Every structure is written in structure tokens, then in C-alpha cells.
Amino acid sequence: MGAVQLTGVRKLFGQMEVIKGVDLTVADGELVVFVGPSGCGKSTLLRMIAGLEDVDYGDIRIAGADVTELAPARRGVAMVFQNYALYPHMTAYDNLAYGLRRAGMARADVDARVQEAAVLLQITELLPRRPKAMSGGQRQRVAIGRAIVRKPEVFLFDEPLSNLDASLRVEMRSQIARLHHDLKATMIFVTHDQVEAMTLADRIVVLNAGRVEQVGTPREVYHNPANLFVAGFIGSPAMNLIPAMAGQGGLTLPWGTQLPWPKPALAGPVTLGLRPDRLSLVPQARAQASGQVTLVEHLGDESILHVRLDTGASLTIKAPGDVQVRLGDVAHIGFDLTSAVLFGPDGRVLT
């Protein structure tokens, strides 16, 4: 199995630099998830590791060996694509066996590998079928099987679950977690799904416009975001980011409310970050902000309230599912500052 090491990796498409100097080490056996907005370079970075895109600057090492100039087939990686990319005219068995046969592997060895992967993925009974006679989840398992039979050092998954419905996603997510546990392989997984990222990852890499904004465990990127971008990107609903003035041991909010801030603060403009579950409805006398409810989302065991303040700013509150609030009500909001984070004018967290 292999660690993956990127050093100063850059990629240009024509004049446009889409990967702007990425340094990253994925440990042997680690499951790392890439997240970031659409177009930030997740797929490109993955394809560069796979050898499907050239590296313009920097180098890529897998299991210690420089693979920057190596052909994809010789890197010890296998990639699983969002659209499965199965051969439609072949059975699942042949889809799994194809690459091994082409590499000249003996028939009995091919069969052993295919059967082993099929057991692992519980697709043995699907082996005689063609892709069109399978569900999305079954196709996706075959696509993963095609990666497994190659016994790669590194698995690369580019949004492999995004075509599946919600319940299948959850099932496949746990399959991938189990697979990672069983194979103890290094895995890099791209997803748009926050829950997928938080539940699968040993570490999350947050990408933005071709740069790494933060690398950390799910807990770290959630509780200790390095900057405003990560704070706003990780977590759903998003963190409330409130402009404030720091000074004299406290914060002044745009609507005049004063908040104590225990840490010796600098003076000047800052941004206060508060997760929606740190805001609650309180009696007016204890409120730090008040405004009009503009949206109530009932999600069962919780309700998300959107409140517009007089300043025009909007706050998001995670309230209990049975909260008695209607559109247009005036809401008085209390802040729990215990896990609040403060960002400086440059967007970086203040420690």
C-alpha cells in the first residue's frame, strides 16, 4: 500500500491555472476526502494523481516513488468514476476481468481475483449480467469491483455515489467505509456531500480555486476552521458569519449589541462565526439580536429558522423540531459564545 505525496503541484489549462501549488501528503492506508465548490479543481487533482492529466509543475510520489511522468497503468492506482464507465456490452464478470486479461494474467488467477472481489462487494450473483440489467447501486459496485481486482496501492473515487438515490448512497457509503477497513488501502474520495465527507474521512482536504484552504480531521475542519472560507463551506446549514468591531475586551455587533469576548482581542474589524445550533430563541430581555422570521424549514427532529435583522443581515438558527414559530413572527435570538470563532480582516482565524 502507498502513501501519496504532492509537492508544489500546479496545472494550467491554456492560460488558466486551475491547480495553484498543492502540497499534500496522504498517509499509507488513509482515507482522505476532497471537498470544495464546483470547479475548484477536485477532479483535476485526482486525475493528475491517476496520471490522466499532465503535471505542469511539481511532483507526485506514490509509495515513495516519483510517478510524475509515469503512465497511468504503472502507478498502482485505480480510479472509480461518477458515471461508472462500465463496458455496456460485457457482463459484470468480463468488466472485472477485462483489465487483468489484457495485462496477460492467467485465466485461473483472473477468476480467483474476480470471485474474491465479488464476494467482498456482494455481487457474485450479478456477475453474469450486463450493466443495463442492473440498478445504479449494483453498477456502482461493479465499477468499484473493477478497481479492486487490480489490487491498487491507491483508490481514487470521483464522486462515485452522486448518481444514486439517498438510501443507496447511505448503503454504498457504509460499503466504502467497510472496504477501506478490509483492504487497508489508501483512498482519496471526492464528494459534494458534506455528510459523506464528515462520515468517511480520516482527514478532509478543503479546496478552493485550485488551492488547499485546510487539511484536517472532520472535527478539526468543523470546530476549528482555519479561515472564513472553510467556516462558510463546512457545515450545513452554514455557520453564521457576523461582522463585528473588536475593542476594549469585547465585540460590538452592527446593530449595537455588545458581547464580552474573553480572549484579549485586537482592535478593529473582525468576523464572529457562530454555528446555527449555538443560536436559540430566548425572551426579548436576554436577546442579542432580534428580527423577522423569513423561512421555517421543518426537518423532523429539528427546524431551521432564517431570521432577517433590521440591518439586512440574516441569521440561521437550528431549533428543536417542535418549535412554535411561523413565518413573519418576530424572533429574539440568544448567542452561546462557547464555541464561537473569530476571524481577522484577512479572513484567517484569530487564536
Ligand X SMILES: Nc1ncnc2c1ncn2[C@@H]1O[C@H](COP(=O)(O)OP(=O)(O)OP(=O)(O)O)[C@@H](O)[C@H]1O
Q: Decide: is 43 part of the binding site for ligand X (CB under 6 A).
A: yes
Pick the closer one to Mg ion by CB: 117 or 207. Answer: 207
Binding positions for Mg ion, 6-45, rule CB under 5 A: 43
Q: Decide: is 13 part of the binding site for ligand X (CB under 6 A).
A: yes
Binding positions for Mg ion, 51-110, rule CB under 5 A: none
Q: Decide: is 191 part of the binding site for Mg ion (CB under 5 A).
A: no
- Residue 13 interacting entry, from ligand X, Mg ion, none, C-beta within 5 to 8 Å by type: ligand X
Size of the site for ligand X (CB under 6 A): 10
Contact 230, 221 (CB under 8 A): yes
- Residue 41 interacting entry, from ligand X, Mg ion, none, C-beta within 5 to 8 Å by type: ligand X
Q: Decide: is 54 part of the binding site for ligand X (CB under 6 A).
A: no
Among 38, 284, 338, 351, binds ligand X (CB under 6 A): 38
In angstroms, give the least distance from the CB of 44 to Mg ion: 8
- Residue 44 interacting entry, from Mg ion, ligand X, none, C-beta within 5 to 8 Å by type: ligand X
Pick the closer one to ligand X by CB: 41 or 225. Answer: 41
Stretch that binds ligand X, among 32-40, 231-239, 284-292, 312-320 (CB under 6 A): 32-40
Ramachandran angles phi, psi of 246, nearest 5° = -95, 145
Q: Decide: is 44 part of the binding site for ligand X (CB under 6 A).
A: yes
Footprint on this chain of Mg ion (rule: CB under 5 A): 43
- Contacts with ligand X, residue ranges (CB under 6 A): 13, 18, 36, 38-44
